[in-house]
Amino acid sequence: SQTIHQWPATLVQPVGSPLSLECTVEGTSNPNLYWYRQAAGRGLQLLFYSVGIGQISSEVPQNLSASRPQDRQFILSSKKLLLSDSGFYLCAWRVTTADYGYTFGSGTRLTVV
Amino acid sequence: GQNIDQPTEMTATEGAIVQINCTYQTSGFNGLFWYQQHAGEAPTFLSYNVLDGLEEKGRFSSFLSRSKGYSYLLLKELQMKDSASYLCAVRGVNQAGTALIFGKGTTLSVSS
C-alpha cells in the first residue's frame, strides 16, 4: 500500500538553531512531493515541490530550503530558525493511482522559542 | 496571481444541511479539491471536481462552475464530528506545477 511518513510530530527549537524535517513515501516510485506550512489562523502555504530527485522548486523565498536526496525522501531544512518559522509543517504527495487525491503526512508542529 | 476565497466561519446544528462556498481566480485550472481538517490534524481528501456539475459522495457533495470560478461543498445530515475546517484548493497550470493552492479554510461548528 502507499503510505507517507513524516517526523517528528512535535518540535520545540530555539531561535537560531538548525532544522531538519523528513518525509518518506512508501509503495510508489517517482512521486510528486510537496512541503506546506500552516501558520496559526492562516491557510496552507505551499513552500516547495519536487517532481524528481534533486529537483526542487521554491514557491516562497524565506529562511527554509528543501532537498530530495532519494526518490521517496523529501527533507525540509533551515540553518537558523526564526520565530516566524513556527507553524504546522505538512508533507504531501500526489497519489499516482488516480487523478485526484493528494495525501498528507501527519505533520510536524514546530514551535520556535 | 491566484486568489481563493471562502468564508472564515460557519455554524450549523445537527441534522441540518450546510453549504460552504469557494470562489477562485487562478492562472489556469486543472481541478478543484475539498479537504477536511480537524484541529491539530492533517487534511484529509473529501472531493474532486474538474468538470462542471455536481459530484456526490454519501453525505458530501461538491459542485463546480468553471465559467464562474465557483464551487461549493454541501454537507447533509450534519453530525457533531463534522465540526472541522474545510479547505478549498485549486490545482493550476502554472509555475507551481501540480501543486494545490489552498484557500484559508472555513471553520464549521456543529452544535446539538
> Which pLDDT value is given to residue B95?
52
The residue ranking higher by pLDDT, A53 or A40, is: A53
In this predicted structure, what is the pLDDT of residue B45? 92
Per-residue pLDDT tens over the stretch A49-83 = 998 899 998 887 678 999 999 999 999 999 999 99
Query: Which SS3 state, helix, strand or coil, does residue A85 take?
Result: helix
- Rounded to the nearest angstrom, the minimum Cα separation between A7 and chain B is 13
Whether residues A49 and B97 touch (CB distance < 8 A) is answered with yes
- Chain B residue numbers touching A101 (CB-CB < 8 A): 45, 48
Measure the CA–CA gap between B36 and A104, rounded to whole angstroms. Answer: 12
Closest CA–CA distance from residue B51 to any residue of chain A (Å): 13
Mean pLDDT of all residues in B83-99 = 82
Please give the order of strands across the beta sheet that includes A19-26.
A3-7, A19-26, A73-78, A65-70
Q: Distance, in angstroms, between B64 CA and closest chain A CA?
A: 15
Say if residue A107's pLDDT is above 90: yes
CA–CA dist B92, A75 (Å, integer): 24
Contacts of B100 in chain A (CB under 8 A): 34, 46, 92, 102
Measured between beta carbons, which residues in chain B are less than 8 angstroms from residue A51?
97-98
Please work out, in degrees rounded to the nearest 5, the angle formed at the alpha carbon of residue A7 by the alpha carbons of B37 and B48. 30
Q: Is the dihedral of CA A40, A46, A47, A52 positive or negative?
A: positive
CA angle in degrees (0–180, nearest 5) for A44-A50-A53? 150
Q: How many residues does chain A have?
A: 113
Distance (Å, rounded) from C-alpha A89 to C-alpha A10?
10
Cα(A101)–Cα(A2) distance, rounded to whole angstroms?
12
Residue B72 and residue B22 in contact, taking contact as beta carbons nearer than 8 Å: yes
- pLDDT above 80 (res A31): yes
Average pLDDT over residues B80-105: 86
Q: What average pLDDT does chain A have?
A: 90
Residue A88 has pLDDT above 60, yes or no: yes
Share of chain B above pLDDT 90, in %: 80
CB-CB neighbors (< 8 A) of A92 in chain B: 100
pLDDT level of residue A97 (50, 70, 90 thresholds):
low
CB pairs under 8 A between A and B: 59
Higher pLDDT residue, A91 or A62?
A: A91
pLDDT-based confidence at residue A99 (cuts at 50, 70, 90): low
Lowest pLDDT segment from A67-76, A104-113, B86-95 = B86-95
Q: Which residue has the higher pLDDT, B100 or B6?
A: B6
Distances (CA, A) of A83 to A60, A110, A113, B14: 17, 10, 7, 40
pLDDT of residue A33: 92
